A and B are shown apart, each in its own frame.
Chain A
Amino acid sequence: MSIIKLVQAEKVYYKLNQEIKALNNVNIDFSSGKFYAIMGHSGSGKTTLIQILGLLDNLTSGKYYINGKDVENLTEKEKASLRMKKIGFVFQSFHLSPNLKAYENVILPMIINKDILPKNRYQEAINILEKLNLTNRINHFPKELSGGEQQRVAIARALANNPDIILADEPTGNLDEKNEDNIFKLLKKISQSGKCVIVVSHNKEITKYADVIYTMKNGKIERLTDENS
């Protein structure tokens, strides 16, 4: 079932009076329970795509639907609410709060979620971290964690509000080979639990794990072969 749909999506930037089409008439949809990989060289538009999908940026033209609802014209407050409930982000540079412990970073998105009672936040965070094999790290600050551990905490944070969609922008960009594998495996597992996982990466290793692979070039997207999971 299609959870995300882009129709004739375009994103145009202007740099030094030159028009740059980061997204050029993109038509794409994403379903739950699948692991999508979006690949391409630098400047191909993949990061712009994931930012649009994550409601971090707006389309210049076209439509964007989440669960069948047009989200392009939502107010900032509505978009923020949607991000909180439906979307979990994983960034290349982890972007963990340095002043919060691992479990506190996971709790961070829960604070604004009225569906999670304050008294339950801690346990929910511990549960998620346990699933990601971080039981021994819950009280550590980010600077006390390895790169792989930090990214797993970031993934845990992305899962905090049980979103339907996980977006990851180069999640293995700052990791070694072993940790890259672990992260992709983890994201695969998450997609198998029913979530729509979309990962932007130029790392070819992702092809081993992705169900569907897209490539982007000059703002245009092209689907490569499906890979059965």
Chain B
Amino acid sequence: MRILDYISFGLKNLIYYKKRTIYNIIITFSIILIILITFTASNTIISFLEENINKNIEYRTMYVKYDVMEESLSSVMKKLSKVKNVIKVIEQDKYQSYITIDKFKTNKTDGEINIIASDSNLLPSIVAGRNPNSNDKNYLICPTKFIADSNLSTRTDLTKEDYIDGRKFLNKEITIKYYSYDYSKEIPEVLNQYEEEFQLIGLYNTYDNYAKDNTCYTSFTNVAKINKNMSGNSEEYTEEVYYHPIIIVNDSKNIDSVFEEINSMGYTPIKRMNIDSNLIGNIKLICLSILLIAIVISIICMITIILKNIKEQEQEIGLLKALGYTNKNISLSFLVESLIIGLISFFISILIYTILYFIISNLINNTNLIFTKIAINYSWYSVLISFIIIIIIPIISTFTWFKKIKNVNIVNLINNE
């Protein structure tokens, strides 16, 4: 038999059994579409988490505890700066602070924000406004939507309506206020009040960065200055506080190796955010499991369809065998039929997938929802996997079935027993 004969045979069968063919194409392209969508969704979720956790500075930040009696802070910091993949070593009191901004107060919140020291290399992606440059002294980078409150992590009464729209304050002057205290008294009293003008030059998405909803960024210099001012005369009247250094790792994938190295140096590193490596791992596992289940179910459905088609045509198979067709001839005929259905379904599903991709991508890119900037990648990998499935499954199914009927009495087949 020539290839054309097989194709002609297959096409005639498909056209004659129109209803069945349409049904099979619908089922098959639905299956392929499910695989494509599941793949894309899994990839999107995993990439989203990996990339955005990766961008999160706090995730890449560790405290390093050391024996303060044995070694000085400067000596420890010097050693830590030589650790591979560490891009920043700073004293703890120069990393983070809490300040109140009157403009951010509402009737439910006290206006306190958490500011973290950063520079242009360590900032999250700016979605509105701009990155700071060397001329910017008192700058603030805030979330697009945020809540300024000192008890944010424990408040359960706050809703979406309590969020402040950062765009309202973009490029505006913001007054920050903080106090230093006199520790000579039993109960510390306000020593000095400080007011400084900052400019809100850029906005980022907390969902992109997995950051807390009250986290803002400013320069290392500003944080150091604020904390120093706030400390007042505490050095004179309180016990010496030993601040542990903070290190920032260049990439989230290097966190574990840096952790191990600092451990081996005899220090105790503590991750600022300890949940994410497990979180990403678990979510990856769930996504991959869902994907695997989708693929397995798809394969089972496809095999069932093919075997059902073959079973329905047992009488014709018997006739062909009686006419002298070999098992190979018959197997290849059904294989070509299955491949034709598979290819038609494949192209339909790719078309629908592509249309869906453009619609959803545009929808996400043009929306102002808080859950924005999810990058959906067109999954060529899933297109390839789907193509392989529609080629391999018919091959396995057809030859598996014919192995079984190879020795069945032709008469029984013709009589459909």
* Interface residues, chain A, with chain B CB atoms under 8 Å away: 51, 54, 56-57, 76-77, 80-85, 89, 91, 95, 97-100, 104, 108-109, 111-112, 118, 157, 161
Contacts and interface: CB of A to CB of B under 8 A. Distances in A.
Interface residues of B, number: 27
Q: Which of A80, A91, A100, A118 has the most CB of B within 10 A?
A: A80
Contacts of B229: none
Contacts of A56: 322, 409-411
B321 interface: yes
A80 B17 contact: no
A108 B323 contact: yes
B315 A76 contact: no
Nearest to B318: A95
A109 B323 contact: yes
Nearest to A111: B5
Interface string B307-334: 0000000011001111111110100000
Given A51-B411, A76-B327, A100-B12, A83 B322 contact: yes
A89 B322 contact: yes
- Grouping DSSP codes into helix (H, G, I), strand (E, B) and loop, the A interface class, with mixed when no group exceeds half, is helix
B23 interface: no
B326 A80 contact: yes
Contacts of A98: 16
Contacts of B409: 56-57
Contacts of B9: 111
Nearest to B319: A95
B389 interface: no
Contact of B324 (A57, A80, A91, A104): A80
A112 B322 CA distance: 12
Contacts of A84: 323-325
A77 B411 contact: no
A99 B15 contact: yes
A85 B324 CA distance: 8
A89 B323 contact: yes
A77 B4 CA distance: 22
A108 B1 CA distance: 11
A91 B9 CA distance: 22
11 contacts: A56-B410, A57-B411, A80-B325, A81-B324, A83-B324, A84-B325, A89-B322, A89-B323, A104-B12, A111-B5, A118-B4
Q: Which of A76, A109, A112, A118 has the most CB of B within 10 A?
A: A112
B405 to A, nearest CB: 12
Given A80-B325, A100-B12, A118-B5, 15 more contacts: A56-B409, A56-B411, A76-B326, A77-B326, A80-B324, A84-B324, A85-B324, A89-B323, A95-B315, A98-B16, A108-B320, A112-B1, A112-B323, A112-B324, A112-B325
A91 B315 CA distance: 13
A91 B414 CA distance: 10
A15 B142 CA distance: 87
Contacts of B323: 83-84, 89, 108-109, 112, 157
Interface in B168-189: none
Contacts of B5: 111, 118
Q: Which of B319, B322, B324, B409 has the most CB of A within 10 A?
A: B324
B16 A112 contact: no
Contacts, number: 60
Nearest to B12: A99
A150 B45 CA distance: 62
Nearest to B2: A118
B304 interface: no
A78 to B, nearest CB: 10
Contacts of A80: 321, 324-326
Interface in B8-49: 9, 12-13, 15-17
Contacts of B325: 80, 84, 112
A112 B319 contact: no
A211 B125 CA distance: 97
Contacts of A89: 322-323
B319 A97 contact: yes
Interface string B147-161: 000000000000000
Nearest to B324: A84
Contacts of A82: 324
Q: Which of A54, A91, A111, A112 has the most CB of B within 10 A?
A: A111
Nearest 3 CB-CB pairings of A with B:
A84-B324, A99-B16, A83-B324
Nearest to B17: A99
B406 interface: yes
A143 to B, nearest CB: 11
A212 to B, nearest CB: 25
Nearest to B5: A111
B406 A76 contact: yes
A109 B16 contact: no
A29 B382 CA distance: 64
A97 B13 CA distance: 10
A188 B322 CA distance: 23
Given A56-B410, A80-B321, A97 B329 contact: no
B403 to A, nearest CB: 13
B350 to A, nearest CB: 29
Contact of A99 (B13, B315, B329): B13
B17 to A, nearest CB: 7
Contacts of B319: 95, 97
B24 to A, nearest CB: 15
Contact of B322 (A54, A81, A97, A111): A54
Contacts of B1: 111-112
Contacts of B410: 56-57
B16 to A, nearest CB: 3
B331 to A, nearest CB: 13
